[in-house]
Amino acid sequence: MSKPKSSPKQDRIVGLLRENRVLSLEQMMSQGQCSRMTVFLALKQCGYYSSYNYNAGFYTLADIPRFDQDGLWRYDDVRFSRCRTLNETLGQLVERSEAGYTVAELEDVLGVQCRHHLSRLSEQGRLARQKLGRTYVYCASQLAAQSAQKQTRAAMSPPATAPPRPMLPPGLTARMVIRTLVVAIDQPKVNPRQLAARLRREQTEITASQVREIFDFYDLNEKRGS
């Protein structure tokens, strides 16, 4: 069965799209001097994609996009997907990924905000999500694929490291610590109370409790009197 013959105005719309690659409905109606119905008849006859941003407000012919490995194509700031809609694109990207996606990762790939769409897909059971630190990772809903993605994501995450140990005991200055250690080394039998008294005579304001904190901090485990 042969295709229905197109009208000159429909041909004009197709020609405009081939010339400009991407146009809005209003641009096609204005430049083609035709109705909305004529535009959609021309698009339907040739096949087309609508953008997944700008509320699907831009169009291109089906044979124009050169989609990348993620099934995406961009013309200036107008974005198209082989999957056509944003929801379907999100679902396909997440389900086919090796390690799932965070919201930030998907927004970087797609160039649009998608947090609300992802939450809705999760609520509908289309995607699963798991907490990772302070964010969520979206994974496939199928359990086997989801498990593999979680394992890959876990391997990607750097191991947790302990925060670096401070150089000085909290609340003590370097001068206080150094003077305490010098006197403790010079007089190893002096107890914390006596050591603090000597330091105060030398104009170093320190308490016996702070001396003990210094000994504990540096693991000076010699037995001392109280």
pLDDT tens-place string over residues 134-190: 889 999 999 999 999 999 998 887 655 656 777 888 778 888 888 888 888 888 888
The whole-angstrom separation of Cα 214 and Cα 194 is 15
Confidence of residue 209 (pLDDT cuts 50, 70, 90): confident
Query: pTM score > 0.75 for this model?
Result: no
CA distance 13 to 18: 9
Query: What confidence tier does 226 reach under pLDDT thresholds 50, 70, 90?
Result: very low
At 12 the pLDDT is: 97
pLDDT at 225: 46
Locate 170 and state its tokens: 């909290």
The three-class DSSP label of residue 49 is strand
Higher pLDDT, 4 or 5: 5
> What is the pLDDT of the chain when averaged over all its residues?
90
Looking at 1.10.10.10, 3.20.20.140, 3.40.630.30, 3.90.1710.10, the CATH number of the domain 85-156 comes to 1.10.10.10
> Tell me, what's the pLDDT at 223?
47
Beta strands at 78-81 and 101-102: parallel, antiparallel or unpaired: unpaired
User: Strand, helix or coil at 102?
Assistant: strand
More confident residue, 202 or 88: 88
Burial zone of 47 (CB within 10 Å; 0-12 exposed, 13-18 middle, 19+ buried)? exposed
CATH domain 8-61 topology? Arc Repressor Mutant, subunit A (1.10.10)
9 or 211, greater pLDDT: 9
Pairing of strands 78-81, 72-75: antiparallel
Q: What is the gyration radius of the CA atoms in the chain, in angstroms? A: 34
Q: Give the C-alpha separation, 176 to 173, whole Å.
A: 5
CA dihedral 201, 207, 209, 215 (to 10 degrees): -50
Q: Among residues of the chain, what percentage have pLDDT more than 70? A: 92
The rounded distance, in Å, linking the Cα atoms of 83 and 37 is: 24
Amino acid 224: pLDDT: 47
